[in-house]
């Protein structure tokens, strides 16, 4: 301070706390920036058993880098999976649709195809009942 200016007792108290206040303010700003750019919270994903066993482990490995994100995987039963999504018991639903069997989806649900799985028929080598 200048030669003729002196801090009051109250001013001295504020100066003593200013460093702590600025440090806390910087930390709050960093926490807020991280929350804006990093997903935070819990995502509930419904998936049929075959999908849960094949796709979900890889996705969870990728998402494990998101330390503030928790993923719950719930086995989805075909009979109630869409209802669980619509009631917000699930945040995401990984489902399947077979050719010729449409899976009606309400307009408030966005559906994105993520792959195509071939179906195979297996038989023993000596079974000729399926030969043409």
Q: Which residue range is the domain that position 80 belongs to?
A: 39-94
Residue 80 lies in a domain: yes
72 and 60 inside one domain: yes
Report how far apart, in Å, the C-alpha atoms of 24 and of each of 1, 15, 34, 82 are: 26, 15, 15, 45
Do 19 and 59 have their domain in common?
no
For the segment 88-123, what is each residue's pLDDT rounded down to a tens digit? 999 999 888 777 877 788 899 998 888 877 778 887
Split into its structural domains, the chain has a count of 2
Residue 109 β-bridge partners = none
Burial class (CB in 10 A: 0-12, 13-18, 19+), 81: buried
> Under 8 Å CB-to-CB from 124, ≥6 apart: which residues?
none
| Average pLDDT across the chain, whole number | 83
Q: Tell whether 55 and 89 lie within a shared domain.
A: yes
What pTM, to 2 d.p., does this model score? Answer: 0.60
117 located within any domain: no
Asked if residue 52 is part of any domain, the answer here is yes
- Output the six-digit token pair for 16: 């003593």
């Amino acid at each position: 301070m200048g030669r003729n200016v002196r801090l009051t007792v109250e001013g001295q108290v504020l100066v003593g706390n200013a460093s702590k206040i600025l440090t806390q303010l910087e930390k709050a700003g960093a926490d807020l920036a991280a929350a804006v750019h990093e997903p935070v919270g819990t995502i509930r994903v419904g998936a049929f058993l075959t999908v849960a066993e094949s796709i979900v482990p890889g996705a969870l490995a990728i998402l494990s880098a998101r330390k503030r994100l928790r993923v719950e995987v719930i086995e989805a039963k075909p009979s109630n999976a869409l209802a669980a999504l619509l009631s917000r018991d699930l945040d995401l639903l990984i489902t399947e649709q077979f050719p010729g069997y449409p899976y009606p989806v309400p307009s408030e649900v966005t559906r994105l195809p993520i792959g195509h799985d071939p179906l195979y028929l297996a038989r023993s080598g000596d079974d000729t009942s399926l030969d043409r």
